[in-house]
Chain A
Amino acid sequence: DTGVSQDPRHKITKRGQNVTFRCDPISEHNRLYWYRQTLGQGPEFLTYFQNEAQLEKSRLLSNRFSAERPKGSFSTLEIQRTEQGDSAMYLCASSLGTRKEETQYFGPGTRLLVL
């Protein structure tokens, strides 16, 4: 257990529905990241927060995706009008925020299946 938690661990939804995932980072960590991982591939970066500010977004983050980190603590990732191609593992990670090369601590992920 790294100290990063994600909820839910599994989500099955029908195409067209909205889903929201939550990530609770390690409490003193300023940086929070979202990644997506499809079967057989390494995780791919989606977006990054420094405290409450969303500082970077990947081109993978279509306009159906939105992420927030109110008050710089937990974060949510919402997918609107889900598509079958959104089926993946969504991973959250956090880091202390003092150096560029520092270690990231990952949560267990939320596995999404869109039917």
Chain B
Amino acid sequence: DAKTTQPNSMESNEEEPVHLPCNHSTISGTDYIHWYRQLPSQGPEYVIHGLTSNVNNRMASLAIAEDRKSSTLILHRATLRDAAVYYCILRARSGAGSYQLTFGKGTKLSVIP
């Protein structure tokens, strides 16, 4: 999987929107952008993924740059339960590339009450 770059940490106030950036300048045309998060003392959980268009689900929104070299995970109203490490991961859609997830260090999000 291609490499991603994320800030080590971010802070947000409770009930404010949060924008978590991810740079992936070496992304290939067939790579999906996946986001997982890991709450303290738990396994990672899937958040959202996308290919080219922006995506929304009940947890978050994913905004993908037109050139696909960066993306932003958007939490619309941060809650204390959103405090976690957020991982941005590129996944091969088909062909070359393995099935495992390649995690970086992610962004540790702190939510201030």
Spell out A's residues near B (CB within 8 Å).
2, 4, 31, 33, 35, 40-45, 48, 56, 58, 91, 93, 95, 99-101, 103-109
Contact = CB atoms under 8 A, between A and B. Distances in A.
16 contacts: A2-B43, A33-B100, A33-B101, A42-B85, A42-B104, A42-B106, A43-B44, A44-B103, A45-B98, A100-B91, A100-B99, A101-B91, A101-B92, A101-B94, A103-B49, A108-B42
A106 B100 contact: no
Contacts of A2: 43, 45
A95 to B, nearest CB: 8
Contacts of A99: 93-94
B97 interface: yes
A45 B97 CA distance: 14
Closest 3 CB pairs of A and B: A42-B103, A106-B43, A45-B100
Nearest to A2: B45
Contacts of A4: 43
Contact of B105 (A42, A45, A100): A42
Contacts of B91: 100-101
Contact of A45 (B32, B42, B102, B106): B102
